[in-house]
Structure 1
């Protein structure tokens, strides 16, 4: 396919959105979690919109209020239904809440837990858990959204890795055909027409002297997508395995978003978080419920650095980092050095701090 054969829209804003795709109820995606397991205060909002708050602690030890889940009623647990009464039973312990067991059985229980952990790790190594997650999420629609601003070789490797290792569709917004990256996309789209859709605009990225901003461009990708789970991915990454299924599975199980790297606030800085529920997601791959991302995305962000933190703080629900190894290879840094990047990064981070302190 030649460059002359493609349709190029003048601006990001001029690309038409043929239908409102976020108004319909979810197809196969389970409802987001609206409460914690037994013994922990409920969080989120109930189906009538009433707020529930639960006290948590950030890494500095300060109490904060958990955010609401912000999801609809489709697939949600009926009001009045009880949480799991004994989650320990799911780990192989007694299912009787009144049974405390022999105090001398502590070593036996510890050994069983250790054996179960080793077995789980072995299953992870063999890919059994990921295959199970594929089956469980086979009907959940997911799409990878890419914002292309140059680096054609990285773009090729990034897109080809998504095609090779996942079943997700790829939706790409090419800003200005910088360094011929748009030409590379056309070749890939011609090779995989059922998997890749490319939108070209004449606008160059704002951070490269043009007028197309990060927030407006990412918002356009969200509106063009009609999937239940939208994956924000950077083109400076290459998948070395199925890095998406565990994230989609986490979202399907109730998280509003999932990624392979998490962050927790520590004063006015952020530190990397352990797997599990986190305050923010970073790392260049974030799977998010598309309907919630539409309202939370910082459309005023002209630059992408720290915009993931802003998105995370605005999302109404649990953010999760799965356990396990992320099969992702960084290709190169796509940060644009200079006064513009420094200024816009500071502006994004100031918004992050305001949102953090307000919460």
Structure 2
């Protein structure tokens, strides 16, 4: 579809919102029953993280790197060695063989349990309406991979807002929507992203997607993120059980809140916005609409939500693509600006 043929609104603010469903309570979200979802009632404070984890980049000490979702040694995760390189005498070799057989059996059972559990959650949340909100501000190849992964692995509707067709990303979005109009809804604006010298900001754009949505659960997702399996069902299930939001990665403040570390599984203080599902109505009142960039704005959103924020027990199958680089001085300035709001909320809740 050519740019001339598509409908292009002048600004994000000018896009009309024709349906708002916040007046009625959600119809399919159950009361809180958090322990059944997380497998723990802890705060997530037992997860490793270093004191040097900066607020603008949550620490990763002691954790798997982002994007590492494969379970290389399930037996080891269950507390066994599972080392195929071990050697010894015949009797010991026999014992090791028996242990490995037992390890493999347990690992297979565990993985089967995970599959059964996800399928059970999928059935139980089938009536919970869900949409994924995407801001498209360049990097068309990543847009293609991100959206296609949602089509392949979820039943959610995709709501995509294109800011200025940067590098042809809006054209890529139209190609995808033309193939799956039943799953993808798109809006285009002439406004370019704030980080590219335009006037379209993260906060106003995210708020517009929330208001264009009519689902019970809204998923904030970045186009740097790709699903390698059904990563949304565990998040939706957590919300259906009573959490206000659930995400791929959690974060906990250290000391006075100027440093953060990764946290989870279980209850956490904040969630990162690269993949975060939230009850849509509360999100409308909590989203920092004045945020010009998303860095640290996800923490501010998390702290403004009233209720339990959760990271599921088993990490969803998610991969992070390469970082979308923006000018360093811009990012530092906007991160610091957003973090002022984070500190205000932390101090208010102390």
TM-aligned CA distance change 1:57 to 1:163, over 3 Å: closer
Matched, 1:272 2:252: no
TM-score (structure 2 length as normaliser)? 0.77
Matched, 1:123 2:112: yes
Unaligned runs of 5+ in 2: 37-42, 47-105
TM-aligned CA distance change 1:315 to 1:184, over 3 Å: same
2:145 maps to: 157
Query: What is the CA–CA distance in structure 1 between the aligned matches of 2:22 and 2:273, rounded to whole Å?
Result: 26
Alpha-carbon RMSD = 2.4
Matched, 1:315 2:305: yes
Q: How does 1:64-103 map to 2 (within 5 A)?
A: none
Deviation at 1:179, TM superposition (A): 0.3
Is residue 58–residue 265 contact of structure 1 (8 Å, CA) maintained in 2?
no
2:154 maps to: 166
Query: What is the CA–CA distance in structure 1 between the aligned matches of 2:227 and 2:181, rounded to whole Å?
Result: 20
Query: What is the CA–CA distance in structure 1 between the aligned matches of 2:29 and 2:187, rounded to whole Å?
Result: 27
Query: What is the CA–CA distance in structure 1 between the aligned matches of 2:299 and 2:241, rounded to whole Å?
Result: 22
Query: What is the CA–CA distance in structure 2 between the aligned matches of 1:27 and 1:335, rounded to whole Å?
Result: 41
Is residue 11–residue 201 contact of structure 1 (8 Å, CA) maintained in 2?
yes
Matched, 1:14 2:14: yes
Is residue 21–residue 223 contact of structure 1 (8 Å, CA) maintained in 2?
no
Query: What is the CA–CA distance in structure 2 between the aligned matches of 1:58 and 1:275, rounded to whole Å?
Result: 9
Matched, 1:235 2:219: no
Is residue 45–residue 263 contact of structure 2 (8 Å, CA) maintained in 1?
no
Bigger RCO of structures 1 and 2 (CA < 8 A, at least 6 apart): 2
1:282 maps to: 272
2:73 maps to: none
Is residue 220–residue 273 contact of structure 2 (8 Å, CA) maintained in 1?
no
Please identify, of 152-161 and 275-284, the stretch whose mean Cα deviation from structure 2 is larger.
Answer: 275-284
Residue 339 of structure 1, aligned match among 312, 329, 342: 329
Deviation at 1:338, TM superposition (A): 2.6
Query: What is the CA–CA distance in structure 2 between the aligned matches of 1:167 and 1:143, rounded to whole Å?
Result: 9
Deviation at 1:323, TM superposition (A): 1.1
Alignment coverage as a number of residue pairs: 286
Q: How does 1:107-118 map to 2 (within 5 A)?
A: none
1:249 maps to: 237
TM-aligned CA distance change 1:31 to 1:15, over 3 Å: farther
Query: What is the CA–CA distance in structure 1 between the aligned matches of 2:260 and 2:175, rounded to whole Å?
Result: 40
1:26 maps to: 26
**Structure 2 residue matching 1:5: 3-state secondary structure:** coil
Is residue 32–residue 256 contact of structure 1 (8 Å, CA) maintained in 2?
no
TM-score (structure 1 length as normaliser)? 0.75
Per-residue Cα deviation, 1:312-347 (whole angstroms, up to 9, x for no partner):
000000000001132111111124123221101011
Is residue 262–residue 321 contact of structure 1 (8 Å, CA) maintained in 2?
yes
Per-residue Cα deviation, 1:97-118 (whole angstroms, up to 9, x for no partner):
xxxxxxxxxxxxxxxxxxxx97
